[in-house]
Structure 1
Amino acid sequence: MSGASLDRRSIEELVDRYAATGVAQDEAELNDDIGKYNRLVDDIIAVEAELKSRAGDQRTALMKLYDHPNMQVRLNAAHATLAVAPEAARALLMTIRESRWMPQAMQAGMSLRNLENGVYRPD
């Protein structure tokens, strides 16, 4: 989805697109389709940037995905909301890590470690 089309989408449409992209990303990872996975990361970043650019930084809208049935969607939402809802996002990352649902549990654990060490600073 191009940046030009993202700015015409409602916040709800962006959240829905974010979730659908996360599900597709999970499927690509399970099918070992790294090229598709990487292209989908670009889409995730674009939606996050669009939400961030909206008045009041609308990335908080992604918090409704914290209970999504797909673990990758929850992981993406936690990462995207670290700057706007740090306590809730960290709690979700801990829950994902403790679930031992791979590979997302490993990614959540690495994110928490990098946050604690100051290697990663959400913006």
Structure 2
Amino acid sequence: MSDTRYSSHSISELLHIFTKSCLAQYDTDITDDIDTYNREFRTLVDIKNELQSRGPAARRQLTRLLNDSNKQVRIQAAKFVYPVARPEATKCLQDLAAGPFPDDQVFDAKMTLRRLEEVPDCLDH
């Protein structure tokens, strides 16, 4: 299902918007602004849907973000690209989970990996 707000954007533009939304989410670690976090999450879902509507190769472009310098960008990219790039996404999640604790993204990665053990297709969306 394509989101008309994003249908005219190039993949590079979509990845840029995705990154900006993740960075806005990252900032909410300090502010606890759940409204901003949720709004940006909806943007991520819309971008994922747009990429998905363009086919697996377009969605795989999220793998370019798995090496981003920001942990929030990496974890969100890993979760959204997982259905089409499992080995790369799993490696990213494992690398994040191995980081120092306490850290929101480290915790999220550990919990995501645990959930994948219990329900292997939980990220297949």
Q: TM-score of the superposition, structure 2-length normalised?
A: 0.90
Instruction: Report the Cα distance in structure 2 between the residues aligned to 1:32 and 1:47, rounded to whole angstroms.
Output: 24
Alignment of 1:87-98 (within 5 A): 87-98=87-98
Instruction: Report the Cα distance in structure 2 between the residues aligned to 1:62 and 1:50, rounded to whole angstroms.
Output: 12
Q: What is the match of residue 112 of structure 2?
A: 111
Instruction: Report the Cα distance in structure 1 between the residues aligned to 2:30 and 2:107, rounded to whole angstroms.
Output: 15
> Does the CA contact (< 8 Å) of 2:56 and 2:84 recur in 1?
no
> What amino acid is the match of 2:118?
N
**Candidates 90, 110, 124, aligned match of 1:122:** 124
Q: What is the match of residue 45 of structure 1?
A: 45
> What amino acid is the match of 1:51?
L
Q: What is the match of residue 21 of structure 2?
A: 21
> Does the CA contact (< 8 Å) of 2:21 and 2:43 recur in 1?
yes
Instruction: Report the Cα distance in structure 2 between the residues aligned to 1:98 and 1:107, rounded to whole angstroms.
Output: 11
4+ long deviations beyond 2 Å? none
Instruction: Please say which of residues 42-51 and 55-64 is displaced more in the overlay.
Output: 55-64
Q: TM-score of the superposition, structure 1-length normalised?
A: 0.92
Instruction: Report the Cα distance in structure 2 between the residues aligned to 1:121 and 1:75, rounded to whole angstroms.
Output: 12
Instruction: Please say which of residues 29-38 and 86-95 is displaced more in the overlay.
Output: 29-38
Query: Post-superposition shift, 1:56?
Result: 3.8
Q: What is the match of residue 81 of structure 2?
A: 81
Percent same amino acid at aligned positions?
30
User: Does residue 61 of the first structure (1) align with residue 61 of the second (2)?
Assistant: yes
Note the residue ranges of structure 1 that are not aligned, 5 or more in a row.
none
Query: Post-superposition shift, 1:121?
Result: 4.2
Note the residue ranges of structure 2 that are not aligned, 5 or more in a row.
none
Query: Post-superposition shift, 1:44?
Result: 0.6
Corresponding residue SS for 1:83: helix
Instruction: Report the Cα distance in structure 2 between the residues aligned to 1:107 and 1:44, rounded to whole angstroms.
Output: 17
